[in-house]
Amino acid sequence: MVLENLIQPGERAMVIGVGGGGDVVGTIPTARYLKKLGAQPMVGGLSWERYVNDPEPGPRKFSEIENLEIISETVGLASSETKTKKGVIFTESVVAKFLGEKTVLVDLNQGVRGVIRGLNEAIDKLGTRLFVGIDVGGDILASGKEEGLHSMLADSMMLAAMCYLKVPSVLGVMGAGTDGELTFEQILNQLAKTAKYGGFLGARGLTKEDVQVLEELIPKTKTEASKLAVRAAKGEIGEIEIRGGYRKVLLTPLAALTFYLDPKVVFENVNQIAKKLVNTNTLEEAHQILEKEGVPSELTFEREFVWKKYADRDELLRRSMG
């Protein structure tokens, strides 16, 4: 499987940030790449903003969202006016305003089965020929046993869903290690393992044009990992504190790359939890599987308000969106 051969000029691609929060920002370089290949990419992410933007735990249901064009039970199109009924602006809404076009929102509340049904219906309605899921940081490659993990739920649910879509799907990992969950060595080992099983599809670095676009967009959002990828592309290297000092990241030139992988190889051989989530019908069911398996879930992190312990040092909590 070669990324360049999976889509023809004029065909539509869906490029989705699969980890929620600011991952939609990480879709921009891949979308620009696909556009240069002649495709028509549409970017998006999940209806799950991180605590720095929405302190209410979990992803928002579509019934909690205003100004959303509903395409299927779990897929909608967001504009610059899309927000929660409590006034929270989605990062996808900021990106929609920035790009001047609608973005995709995916709701995880109906479990992996609901995501599969909803995405496949949206794929038909929108005429999509390729699905690309982008994870910024790389925790989607975790086995679930790594000490630094705290957010494997959304990534693993989306990885599972990607393997049951009616169009070809590709997994992209941008900004390897920039979320501070996997160590640099762990990231390299998991990438190597994916390659060993034939799952490495290539890589692309941030271009100067990508950096210019991201530097204009990022200050309008509350993303941190994508910003580190830009810093890596500009030559910064070394250990950096993130999340108000809650985590540390070893920034290297590899963070400026997006690695393209076969999601089915990652599903079968790398991520040990995604396969257990395939038949879930609710977010809570998926969350309970992670809890039972001893795998960290961001839903627990949010429900227990762990982030409040370092909130006074987290500049992103005080930054406005848009």
| Domain positions in the chain | 8-314
Closest CA to 15 of 191, 172, 227, 156: 172
Average the pLDDT over 187-200 and give the result.
Answer: 96
Amino acid 107: pLDDT: 98
Q: What mean pLDDT, rounded, does the chain reach? A: 91
User: Rounded to whole angstroms, how far apart are CA atoms 67 and 87?
Assistant: 12
Residue 226 Cα to chain centre, angstroms = 11
Give yes or no for a contact between 169 and 199, defined as CB atoms under 8 angstroms apart. no
CATH classification for the domain delimited by 8-314, as one of 2.40.160, 2.30.30, 3.40.1350, 3.40.50:
3.40.50
Chain position carrying tokens 């309605």? 125
Longest dimension (CA), the chain: 50
CA angle in degrees (0–180, nearest 5) for 181-52-287: 55
- Provide mean pLDDT across the span 305-315: 57
Query: Sorting pLDDT into bands at 50, 70 and 90, what band is 145?
Result: confident
Cα separation of 36 and 33, whole Å? 5
Structure tokens at 150: 């705290």
Residues 60-103: pLDDT tens digits? 999 999 999 999 999 999 999 999 999 999 999 999 999 999 99
Say what percent of the chain tops pLDDT 90. Answer: 75
Percent of the chain as helix, strand, coil, to the nearest 5: 45, 20, 35
Across the chain, the runs of DSSP E, i.e. the strands, are 12-17, 40-46, 65-70, 75-84, 103-106, 128-136, 169-174, 200-205, 238-242, 247-251, 257-261
